[in-house]
């Protein structure tokens, strides 16, 4: 089905000058209509720019695009990644044990359960000291090597759930710059370090270079016998991992997209460092969001409403960026995770059938944890000429020691200020009240004016727990999926990343040859000459 944008465009034109703050009086049911509880999260989308008519038009768009039927195809394991002929079945990874998922008709749940059980058994053995390194010492550190989806998800999980003084230290290496590896290895002892190499394809240049460096580091500090116990592979290509030197591998299938893979063995390092129970609880939180996504009607469906708010901003009101501010130090990596999840999934220029898109697709997604972002780019969000929708992820209790003032109060203040703003008359009166003379008040009032009417969504959780983290990440995954359905794009391939990879190899060949090839453009040739 193809979305019918007619009513959407009409409503967007009609709403262009509407003031958000006025909509609460115009529609007394607004807060109730545009807020909901789902899987331990509370969402408030009532500060979005839509009027009630705009909101209804967005729901009409979702219905016309066939979101419900597409959702069924996702969960039924059909080949919705059409350019690669693959199913997209990350929900199968987090379903309760004994599920009945099929990928392209093939049953997968028994294998998923078996890998989960294997991971739990291995993690328990490492944690208890039953599984040791080559010299008989227990593992006290893990170096997780991977990039993109093989890095960002586990990093979010570790930062969000790690104890202050972990029994097993977990460090991540993604960058091919040797400095990254050098920092990760500093202070570690090969005898007590486990290296986990994570790569779906086991062909990624950065990961293989880092894995070779880690192998050399292990070889320099350990006897050959038993050294392979320090070097584990996680991959959808176990034969390649074994050929590379991984004696033990944990596998996942090609129907797990890289940026949707944190629910699989890709999180093995976290399963070991946090414990299998924590991982299972996170899976359960994500499964609760899956259940909500599948069962809730579209107008009460958290991922659907989040997707519609984004499409309203991007396609209805021409706002091609969105900022995400988690008000919890534990969620500091969320913006980086979302950048890949959203921009690699939905940064697309052609429809599923290959024809060019006629609407905008994924916005630029950026962010920093609150309140740090407030002291950096929020100036632009409040007073810049472009409107940048904001998303606040707010946690009631971020830490056992209560802060001086609750962090969430800052998020509420930001959302309110963005929506309400401050008129020049108000700014003028405040200046006079603060003792400025009339000339100074005249001079400064426009600088202290806030246009307001800037939209935001607020997502609330009581605490960052494995369950709420799982639900939050699954919420974003499904939001992404719904957007892809409405935009009629394939959210599950990433051809845009490929060209850079191919050209990097060609340029490396020129570097080795010591001169730019004739095929290079003058600028790139000049840079190569300057750098080589």
List 78, 131, 344, 368, catalytic entry: 344
- Cα 505 to its chain centre, rounded Å, is 28
Question: Pick from 47, 90, 116, 200: which binds ligand F6P (CB under 6 A)?
Answer: 200
Does 258 bind ligand F6P (CB under 6 A)? Our answer is yes
Tokens (6 digits) for 446: 């426009």
State yes or no: cis peptide before 371, omega within 30 of 0: yes
Strands (E), 32-164: 35-38, 41-44, 102-103, 106-107, 141-145
DSSP character for 259?
G
User: How far apart are CB 162 and ligand F6P at their closest, in Å?
Assistant: 22
Nearer to ligand F6P by Cβ, of 150 and 361: the residue is 150
Active-site residue 501, yes or no? yes
Helix 276-295 to helix 302-311 angle (10° resolution) is: 70
Q: Is 10 a catalytic residue?
A: no
Least separation in angstroms between CB 200 and ligand F6P: 4
153 binds ligand F6P (CB under 6 A): no
The answer to whether residue 345 forms part of the interface with ligand F6P (CB under 6 A) is: no
Q: 251 pairs with which residues across the strands? A: 235
E strand or H helix at 494: none
Q: How far is the CB of 145 from ligand F6P (least distance, A)?
A: 10
Q: Does 497 bind ligand F6P (CB under 6 A)?
A: yes
147 binds ligand F6P (CB under 6 A): yes
The structure tokens listed for 239 are: 């034969």
Instruction: Work out whether 259 is an interface residue with ligand F6P (CB under 6 A).
Output: yes
Q: How far apart are CA 259 and CA 466, in angstroms?
A: 19
Which of 5, 2, 1 has the alpha carbon at shortest distance from 58?
A: 5
Q: Is 347 near ligand F6P (CB under 6 A)? A: no
In the bound state with ligand F6P, the residue whose beta carbon lies nearer, of 264 and 301, is 264
- Is residue 483 within 8 A of residue 311, CB to CB? The reply is yes
Q: Least distance (Å) from ligand F6P to the CB of residue 369?
A: 23
Q: Within 13 Å of residue 317, how many CA atoms lie on the same side as its CB? A: 27
Residue 384 token pair: 């810049």
374 lines the binding site for ligand F6P (CB under 6 A): no
344 carries an active-site annotation:
yes
Largest CA distance in the chain: 83
- Return the number of the residue (340 or 458) whose C-beta is nearest ligand F6P: 340
End-to-end distance of the chain based on CA atoms, in angstroms? Answer: 52
Q: Is 480 in the site for ligand F6P (CB under 6 A)?
A: no
Stretch that binds ligand F6P, among 95-103, 199-207, 409-417, 419-427 (CB under 6 A): 199-207
Interface positions, 205-234, toward ligand F6P (CB under 6 A): 207
Residues known to be catalytic? 344, 375, 501
Instruction: Tell me which residues touch ligand F6P (CB under 6 A).
Output: 147-150, 199-201, 204, 207, 258-259, 344, 494, 497
């Amino acid at each position: 089905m193809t979305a019918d944008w007619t009513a959407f465009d009409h409503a967007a034109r009609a709403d262009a000058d509407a003031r958000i703050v006025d909509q609460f009086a115009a529609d007394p049911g607004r807060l109730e209509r545009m807020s909901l509880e789902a899987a331990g999260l509370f969402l408030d989308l009532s500060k979005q720019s839509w009027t009630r008519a705009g909101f209804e038009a967005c729901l009409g768009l979702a219905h016309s695009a066939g979101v419900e039927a597409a959702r069924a195809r996702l969960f039924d394991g059909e080949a919705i990644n059409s350019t690669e002929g693959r199913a997209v079945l990350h929900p199968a990874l987090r379903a309760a044990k004994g599920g009945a998922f099929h990928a392209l008709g093939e049953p997968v749940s028994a294998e998923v359960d078996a890998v989960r059980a294997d991971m739990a058994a291995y993690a328990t053995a490492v944690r208890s000291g039953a599984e040791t390194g080559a010299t008989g010492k227990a593992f006290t550190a893990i170096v997780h090597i991977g990039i993109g989806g093989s890095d960002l998800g586990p990093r979010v999980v570790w930062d969000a759930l790690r104890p202050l003084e972990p029994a097993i230290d977990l460090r991540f290496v993604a960058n091919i710059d040797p400095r990254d590896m050098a920092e990760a290895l500093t202070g570690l002892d090969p005898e007590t370090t486990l290296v986990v190499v994570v790569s779906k394809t086991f062909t990624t240049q950065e990961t293989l270079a880092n894995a070779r460096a880690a192998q050399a580091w292990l070889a320099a500090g350990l006897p050959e016998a038993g050294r392979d116990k320090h070097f584990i592979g996680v991959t959808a290509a176990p034969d390649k991992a074994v050929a590379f030197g991984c004696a033990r591998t944990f596998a996942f299938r090609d129907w797990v997209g890289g940026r949707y893979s944190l629910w699989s063995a890709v999180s093995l390092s976290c399963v070991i460092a946090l414990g299998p129970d924590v991982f299972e609880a996170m899976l359960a939180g994500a499964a609760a969001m899956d259940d909500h996504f599948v069962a809730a009607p579209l107008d009460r469906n958290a991922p659907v409403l989040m997707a519609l708010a984004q499409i309203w901003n991007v396609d209805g009101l021409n706002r091609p960026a969105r900022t995400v501010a988690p008000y919890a130090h534990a969620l500091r990596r969320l913006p980086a995770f979302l950048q890949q999840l959203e921009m690699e999934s939905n940064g697309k220029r052609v429809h599923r059938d290959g024809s060019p898109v006629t609407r905008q697709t994924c916005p630029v997604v950026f962010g920093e944890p609150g309140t740090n972002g407030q002291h950096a780019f929020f100036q632009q969000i409040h007073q810049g000429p472009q409107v940048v929708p904001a998303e606040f992820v707010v946690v009631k209790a971020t830490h056992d020691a209560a802060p001086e003032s609750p962090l969430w109060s800052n998020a509420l203040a930001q959302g309110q200020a963005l929506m309400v703003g401050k008129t020049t008359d108000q700014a003028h009166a405040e200046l006079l009240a603060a003792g400025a003379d009339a000339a100074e008040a005249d001079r400064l009032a426009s600088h202290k004016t806030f246009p307001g009417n800037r939209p935001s969504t607020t997502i609330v959780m009581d605490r960052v727990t494995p369950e709420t983290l799982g639900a939050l990440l699954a919420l974003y995954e499904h939001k992404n999926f719904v957007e892809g359905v409405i935009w009629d794009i394939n959210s599950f391939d990433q051809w845009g990343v490929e060209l850079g990879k191919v050209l990097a190899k060609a340029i490396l060949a020129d570097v080795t040859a010591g001169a730019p090839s004739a095929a290079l453009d003058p600028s790139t040739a000049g840079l190569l000459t300057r750098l080589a």
